Amino acid sequence: MKKLFILLFSFLTITAHAASSEGGEFRPGDMITHHIADDYSWHFADGVVLYLPVVLIDNGQFVSFSSSNFYDENHNLVPYRGYKMEHGHIYKVNEAGEPIEGYKGLYDISITKNVASMFVSVALLFFVFFSIAGSYKKNAGKAPRGMQSFFEPIIIFIRDEIAKANIGPKYERYMPYLLTIFFFIWFNNLLGLMPGGANLTGNIAVTLVLAAMTLLITVFSGNKSYWGHIFATPGVPKWLAPIMIPVELIGIFTKPFSLMVRLFANITAGHIIILSLFSLIFIFQSIAVGPLSVAFATFMNFLELFVALLQAYIFTLLSAMYFGGAVEEHDHVDDMGHGDAH
Amino acid sequence: MELVTPGFGLIFWQLVTFLIVLFLLTKFAWKPIMNALRERETSIEHALSAAEKAKLEMQGLKAENEKLLAEARMERDKILKEASDAGNAIVESAKNKANEEGARMIAQAREAIENEKRAALAEVKNLAAALSVDIAERILRKELSDPQAQQALAQDYIREVTLN
């Protein structure tokens, strides 16, 4: 395990170095943005590049080719089959090689670095949890073993402390979703910390989808008292309804919005801090800064390992709380208006 | 701004992948795992309550055993006491009987002795009588073999008679 971490940090340093050596002058902002943003190829280390497939839907037609076609032998960007990559995006170009402004109908569903990383995480999730499910079948009714005994307390924690505690008796329906988002986020957070890993959970598109799922599940499982609270908040005078209803409706969306931003910001910030610490070496252009940078970055990496778990937990916990709010039976609805009488 | 603009491609893949993952994990991982956990928990609960029941049963059995043991002990004491009483009674009666028998035998012996004595005395008397008669006869025969003596005796008798 220790060796793995050492390997991890050494790789991280190498990639940082690789980014800096590309241009003449070192620009930490560009390097960091490049590392955090999505890409059409996967740089594991300097010279070790995996060109990922580009998949485009151009007016209903599928176009697919390797992203290596966008580079010539001198690593300069060139147009290919009427498309060109600029600033990490693919544009339709005219004969002169200029991007066509306002071109509609081009959808980019390329297997980017983030998508590829997600596939890796999914393969890992499948491997881990299918084998765990298998061992539950194999030694049914017996004490857990190996990987099973590592994940079982986590699964039980999610069930007892997150689902049961926040949702109540109907928790069982939400368990698959809660377990899936928890392990999806956690695994991807950890993979993002790996050397050359993609910043998947620090990408707003990913957190947007996850938050939208929570929103949809919350809205569709909302019972009478949930909607009652939104459209006729108990204890609020009727004439306040024109203010209260929009506020409550906005509240439906702000909750998942906060989920989206929280996960995105936490993971991205962690990556930025670690990359910034490494950038210091190149900004000062001194090897003496190295040990200090590495020490801080090591500390940050450990913190990030914790944050990886914490953010997965928070996302799952808050989702469970929103579900709980949607399915809760408000028996006390009637007294809420007379709360001060008690 | 680039950082906070969600890309269409990633949204698409994330949605598709996540839904597939959710479906497959639910079907092949979470359901079996949750069921296994629930089953194990209920079996543990059952085992615990069964153990508790067994413990109570054991306690009941133990109390019963102790009761039985106490009863057995009492029974034994009673039997021992009865046996010793019976033994004592037998010894007592045997003693009495022996005494009685002894007394009876002594009495019998005494009676027999008395009878023997009486018979012996009677025999002695008869013998004495016969001897006396015999002696007398012999004396008389010897005395009276001589006519003078017969005369003298007759004289004596006559004298005696006259004197009386």
The residue that leads in pLDDT, B121 or A141, is B121
Judged by CB atoms closer than 8 Å, whether chains meet at A203 and B22 is answered as: no
Closest Cα to residue A56, out of A92, A13, A18? A92
CA dist., res. A240 & res. B32, Å (int): 49
Contacts of B17 in chain A (CB under 8 A): 115, 118-119, 122
pLDDT recorded at residue B55: 95
pLDDT recorded at residue B163: 63
Is B2 in the A-facing interface, judged by CB distances under 8 Å? Answer: yes
CA dist., res. A261 & res. A48, Å (int): 33
Judged by CB atoms closer than 8 Å, whether chains meet at A115 and B10 is answered as: yes
Mutate to test the interface with A, among B26, B30, B31 (most CBs of A within 10 A): B30
Residues 13-32 of B with CB under 8 A from A: 13-15, 17-18, 20-22, 24-26, 28-32
Indicate the residue of B25, B26, B32 with minimum beta-carbon distance to A136.
B32
pLDDT recorded at residue A336: 47
Contacts of B26 in chain A (CB under 8 A): 176, 180
Rg (CA), chain A: 25
pLDDT recorded at residue A20: 43
Rounded to the nearest angstrom, the minimum Cα separation between B25 and chain A is 7
CA dist., res. B2 & res. B10, Å (int): 14
pLDDT recorded at residue A60: 80
pLDDT recorded at residue B20: 94
Closest Cα to residue A300, out of A3, A8, A1, A4? A8
Closest Cα to residue A84, out of A111, A225, B111, A94? A94
pLDDT recorded at residue A24: 62
CA dist., res. A300 & res. A273, Å (int): 8
pLDDT recorded at residue A6: 53
pLDDT recorded at residue A16: 46
Judged by CB atoms closer than 8 Å, whether chains meet at A208 and B9 is answered as: no
CA dist., res. B40 & res. A324, Å (int): 27
pLDDT at B96 over 60: yes
Domain extents in chain A: 53-110, 114-341
Closest CA in chain B for residue A272? B3
- What are the tens digits of pLDDT across the range B36-73? 889 888 999 999 999 999 999 999 999 999 999 999 99
Q: Are A167 and A161 in contact (CB under 8 A)?
A: no
Rounded to the nearest angstrom, the minimum Cα separation between B44 and chain A is 9
pLDDT recorded at residue A2: 54
pLDDT recorded at residue A42: 86
pLDDT recorded at residue A286: 79
pLDDT recorded at residue B164: 58
CA distances from B14 to A208, A260, A307, A309, A315 (A): 10, 14, 22, 20, 17
Q: Which residues in chain A come in under a pLDDT of 50?
A: 8, 11-23, 333-342
Q: Provide the ipTM.
A: 0.82
Is B103 in the A-facing interface, judged by CB distances under 8 Å? Answer: no
Half-sphere exposure of A22 (CA within 13 A, CB side): 18
Encoding tokens for residue B152?
């003298």
